[in-house]
Amino acid sequence: MNLITYLVESLRASAKVNRTLMVMPAAILWTDAERNWESAIPRLKKLMPELLTLGAYLPDDRQGPSIWLKCAVAKELDTELPVGVVPVIYLPGVSRADLRAIEDCPRELQPLAELQFRGAFWSQVNGKDWTINALLTAKSSGLGGDVAQDRATQEALKRARLSMYCWSIRWRICARAL
């Protein structure tokens, strides 16, 4: 398995609920205030037909403003989302806090704010946005790797993002340090 495959599985797992107690979420909200994952989106869109992105209106790329995204989730548009799969909405430059306080929510995001109640967030156990470093190192819901936290290593991770998605994650099993 490589990192991009793990990312797809993790995003999709966010939609899993006990169906005897809860309804399926309307959408998975993927907030990314620092745009850590933006470089992965083109590759992810090839693997995840349910992935939608907040941005300029480009319906052929499954991208649009918040009102378009809300209509796509409601299946009011011809977006060809797969049946029975929960849509994932990637929100570059948006934090979870931006959506939380609806009265203070930026006007351009307000159509999506209510999805926090009908949907689920793809976030760390502590409620923070996933970063690449957090996904690589988190023991409970990440890969549990041993990644140095010094500035040089963190900068190298940022520079290596595009190639990183192809990395094998076998080291998760053998606990090899990066």
- Residue 33's φ and ψ, nearest 5 degrees, are -55, -35
pTM: 0.87
Rg (CA), the chain: 16
Asked whether residue 100 is domain-assigned, the answer is yes
The whole-chain average pLDDT of the chain stands at 86
The number of distinct structural domains making up the chain is: 1
Asked whether residue 115 is domain-assigned, the answer is yes
Asked whether residue 150 is domain-assigned, the answer is no
Regarding beta strands 51-54 and 88-92, do their DSSP bridges make them parallel or antiparallel, or are they unpaired? parallel
Asked whether residue 151 is domain-assigned, the answer is no
- Give the residue among 174, 175, 121, 171 at the shortest CA–CA distance from 6: 171
Give the structural domain span for 124.
Answer: 3-131
pLDDT at residue 42 in the model: 93
Asked whether residue 148 is domain-assigned, the answer is no
Asked whether residue 37 is domain-assigned, the answer is yes
Q: Is it the case that residue 3 has pLDDT exceeding 90?
A: no
85-142: pLDDT as tens digits: 999 999 999 999 888 878 888 889 999 999 999 999 998 888 888 888 888 888 877 8
Asked whether residue 20 is domain-assigned, the answer is yes
Asked whether residue 165 is domain-assigned, the answer is no
